[in-house]
Structure 1
Amino acid sequence: MVSFYNCKSTKVIAASGEASSKLTAKQLIKAHTKNEVDFKTLQAKTKIDITQGEKTKGITFNLRIKKDEVIWLSAPLGLARMMITPNKVQFYNKTDNTYFDGDYKLLSDFVGFELDFEKVQNILMGQAIYNLKEKPHTIDVQENSYVLEPKNQDVLLELFYLMNASHFKLDSLQLAQSVKRRFLQVDYKSYQGVEKNIIPKEIKIIAVEDTEEALVDMEIKSVTLNGDVRFPFRIPSGYTEIELK
């Protein structure tokens, strides 16, 4: 069962389902795919806190998405702005006059794993980052979550999905590269109901490489779907380009 509480159009979801050992991997994949967010555009306020070492930076962004085409983030007064498309990642920061205009290496280096547009969009929407129908999977139950993993795990990249027993969205995504001592975990702490869709509300990302760790806490709120959206973006002249090593 999935119960909704709070009023207005956005409702926090209280999950009360119980995982069943009788559910097959194919049934779980079908249920997870069925609950993919159905939208053309999305607008929201997104609070992001980034912790690296002893430093934490937090700011609230305007988030806009045109499904499968654009993800756009803008800080208040346009002080920083990021635009992600299937082909490139662009970013500028007015506080230090820097910019980036390139491929997904910027985001991939931050989390330690190769990303593309579809993976980023799926992470934001609580969906599996790979096509679950391409490979056979096995299913298990742990602490009332369904654990889904490829039947034949890649020796270089282990992958686990923990799925909610109520609405079959992700409870957690876990990727590990033991040889390179890399680990990425995305935990979905809560979900919200918006126009019959189930959308993440609180997301925690943990990225570890060797002894370095980065934490990202996100809160997505004030979500509206299928409105008219614009994606203004222009890198100011005279800014210094961020060069990746």
Structure 2
Amino acid sequence: MKQFLIILSIAAFAVSCKSSKKNTPALENQAENTAEKIIATPAPENTSKKENKRAVQEMALAHYGLFNDFNTLSINADVDYKDKNMSQSPRADIRIEKNKQILIAIKMYGITGAKVYLTPERASFYEIVNGTHYDGDFQFISKFLGTDVTYENVENMLLGKAFYNLNTYDYSQTKSNELELKLNQFLMRLVLGSKNQISSTEVQQNKSADKLVIQYPSYQSSENIYLPKEIKIHAMRKDDVQITIDYKKVSVNPSIDFKYKIPSNSKAIKI
């Protein structure tokens, strides 16, 4: 579970944008295939900063216009997890109260084996089998990455939104459907689909072979809420990790609880 929490946070390390409240007409209630072959044309080399900014703003408007507002989400998902030592396929019950809290219950054969609980101030998880838990904040991941990690990072990654705010940060349009952002020691590359939805995100650290690739092969509209249908996360590091999250059922604005209590006999661990 520690690895799962860290990979989720690494995958979302760059998110700092807030949700858009702009509503759009209802989308068809079916999965949208975004794995289509995308033909990109290079941006003109002599594009001025003003023209680049205008192009990014137009892409941002279309991107954020996809997402309607909500209060709570309940998502039932299949998870496929692989690293060099193990392969598991648990189910995940993902609950989100927008901008406030996320609760993820990991289940095997219908039995909860672990839980992850996140708020803007807290990052916590416990594992039943190992009898261990972590209860703190995102600082351990921030120190590991050398850049800030926030609750919003994880929430927006799960929602399929652009990582850094397209309207705030200094993106460069390198191709008609591709944006790049250089920040600290990282290079982020976003590839957008035909509706300016995120098709893939690639993050690489300077002078390092390590790379993180997040793909969104398809999207869906459930109760007029635009969400990923599938998320593929590939952390290409010394310990190569691959996670696929397949959203099977989505409920919008249900009345749900976020009960989370670390078992009294659980042993605290340091990360």
TM-score bucket (shorter structure)? 0.7 to 0.9
Structure 2 distance, partners of 1:220, 1:58, is 14
Map 1:119-198; keep pairs closer than 5 Å: 119-141=153-175, 146-150=177-181, 153-154=182-183, 156-165=185-194, 167-198=195-226
Residues 155, 118 of structure 1: CA spacing in aligned structure 2 closer, same or farther, 3 A cutoff? closer
CA distance in 2, matches of 1:38, 1:20: 31
Letter of the 1:231 partner, please give it: F
Deviation of 1:215 (Å): 0.8
Q: CA deviation at 1:109?
A: 8.2
Instruction: Give the aligned partner of residue 17 of structure 2.
Output: none
SS at match of 1:79: strand
Instruction: Report the residue type matching 1:228 in the other structure.
Output: S
1:78 pairs with 80, 96, 112, which one? 112
Which residues of 2 match residues 12-161 of structure 1 at below 5 A? 12-14=31-33, 24-74=55-105, 75=107, 76-105=110-139, 114-141=148-175, 146-150=177-181, 153-154=182-183, 156-161=185-190
How far apart, in 1, do the equivalents of 2:218 and 2:261 lie? 34
CA deviations on 1:101-143 (whole Å, 9 max, x unpaired) are 111256668989753111111111111111221233232447x
Which aligned segments of 4 or more residues in structure 1 are displaced greater than 3 angstroms?
A: 14-23, 105-114
8 Å Cα contact 2:113-2:129 kept in structure 1: yes
How far the C-alpha of 1:181 sits from its partner, in A, is 3.7
Q: Work out the CA distance in 2 between the residues paired with 1:233 and 1:57.
A: 24
CA root-mean-square deviation? 2.9
- Note the residue ranges of structure 1 that are not aligned, 5 or more in a row: none
Equivalent residues of 1:49, 1:59 under 8 A apart: yes
- Give the CA deviation at 1:185: 1.1
Q: Is the 8 Å Cα contact of residues 112 and 208 (structure 1) preserved in structure 2? A: no
Give the 3 Å change call, closer, same or farther, for CA 109–198 of structure 1 in structure 2: farther
Cα 1:138–1:37 change in 2 (3 A) is: same
Match for 1:199 among 221, 227, 235?
227
Shift, 1:77, TM fit: 3.3
- Check whether the contact 2:33–2:217 (CA below 8 A) recurs between aligned residues: no
Give SS of 2:111's match. helix
Structure 1: which amino acid aligns with 2:169? K
Distance 2:167 2:232 in 1: 26
Relative contact order higher in (CA < 8 Å, ≥ 6 apart)? 2
Structure 2 gaps, min length 5: 1-26, 44-53
Question: Helix, strand or coil: the match of 1:115?
Answer: coil
Higher strand fraction (1 or 2): 1
Mark the CA change 1:104 to 1:37 in structure 2 (over 3 Å): closer, same or farther. farther
In the alignment, is the contact (CA less than 8 A) between 1:112 and 1:207 conserved in 2? no
CA offsets 1:71-110 (integer angstroms, 9 cap, x no match): 1111343331111111111111111211111112566689
Alignment of 1:199-238 (within 5 A): 199-209=227-237, 211-238=238-265
Q: Structure 1 residues 48, 242: closer, same or farther in 2, change over 3 A?
A: farther
